[in-house]
Amino acid sequence: MRINVILYRVMAYVTGVILIVLCALAIGQVWTSDGAAVNAVGTVHGLLYIVYLIVSYPLTRRLRLAVPATIAVLLAGTVPVMTFVVEYRIRHRYIEPALAQQDAGPREAPRPVA
Amino acid sequence: MPGSQAPRWRFLITPKWLAWHLIMVASVAGMLALGDWQLHRALAGNGLSWAYTFEWPIFAVFGVVFWAKTIRDEFRPPVSATPGDEAVALPAGAVPAPAGARPDGEGAEVDAELAAYNAYLARLHGEVKGHGRWHGLR
């Protein structure tokens, strides 16, 4: 679980940053018409997105996210800036409670007071 | 009752899930179509399209695999979820009896307390195991 969370967060940030770089280059293409860099970064983002999917899907299952939330997480890797937003929300709403509960784990129940 | 056991797969044909199935079929078909389109572009000499020619089918496979796993996960928890629902109404057993209420002897009292405590532990265990079952799809 913890490793999965770390991998997800790393991939969310890496994919998000690459996607912003890709967008910046694509916008820059209007003036420079330098297609090679856009193509290269686009391909890298494509590969990273595959890794992002492989990493984030198991996490959505572990957190038992609903189908819409799962789709939001998976598609976040293709929408600029969205990975950061989704990662922040998922972390606060699902990951941290789940980890806290896991740490508490099979904690000893309060003894009945006779 | 045995009648409630059989239609566990029924949720798959509820309107909500049927809609999801349709969306999944449409999107997988769409991804394959995009892959085919990219293949044609690649064959027409667009080098970058080769990457997407392979990427779209991979996404389509992901879609199928993820969907299958999502459905499989939906099947698994009901075993613990159903007793869990009943157990939620049961914490009375976990709440210690008022100190004054001791009609039985000491031994019987300890046994009842132990049984209640064990039931409480079992309930906690079940809740932790099945946690989030109902937080998920609604």
Across A83-87, B104-108, B119-123, the highest mean pLDDT is recorded for A83-87
**Nearest-CA distance A65 → chain B (Å):** 5
**Nearest-CA distance B30 → chain A (Å):** 15
Q: What is the pLDDT of residue A113?
A: 65
Please count the residues of chain A. Answer: 114
* Cβ–Cβ < 8 Å for A53, B63: no
Alpha carbon distance B118, B133 (integer Å): 23
Looking at every residue in chain B, the average pLDDT score rounds to 74
Residues of B with CB under 8 A from a CB of A: 20, 47-48, 51-52, 55, 58-59, 62, 66, 69-70, 73, 94-96, 99, 109, 113, 116-117, 120-121, 124-125, 128, 131-133, 135-138
A20 closest CA partner among A81, A86, A84? A81
Residue B34: band (very low, low, confident or very high) from pLDDT cuts 50, 70, 90: very high
DSSP-assigned letter for residue A92: I
Alpha carbon distance B113, B121 (integer Å): 12
Residues 6+ positions from B83 with CB-CB distance below 8 Å: B126
Contact A106 B69 (CB under 8 A): no
Single-letter amino acid, residue B51: A
**Nearest-CA distance A16 → chain B (Å):** 18
What DSSP string runs through A53-82? HHHHHHHHHHTT--HHHHHHHHHHTTSTTH
Residue B134: band (very low, low, confident or very high) from pLDDT cuts 50, 70, 90: very low
Single-letter amino acid, residue B40: H
Contact A64 B55 (CB under 8 A): no
What separation in angstroms does the CA of B66 have from each of A53, B10, B22, B62?
10, 20, 15, 6
Q: What is the pLDDT of residue B26?
A: 94
* A window 53-82, beta carbon within 8 A of B: 53, 57, 61, 63-67, 70, 74
Residue A37: band (very low, low, confident or very high) from pLDDT cuts 50, 70, 90: confident
Alpha carbon distance A8, A109 (integer Å): 33
Extract the tokens encoding A79: 């929408």
Alpha carbon distance A70, A4 (integer Å): 15
Give me the long-range contacts of B97-101 (CB less than 8 A, separation at least 24). B99/A114
Residues 6+ positions from A70 with CB-CB distance below 8 Å: A57, A60, B66, B70
A41 closest CA partner among A83, A82, A80? A80
Q: Which of B48, B109, B133 sits opposite A64 (nearest CB)?
A: B133
Burial class (CB in 10 A: 0-12, 13-18, 19+), B128: middle
For range A78-88, the mean pLDDT: 89
Q: What is the pLDDT of residue B47?
A: 77
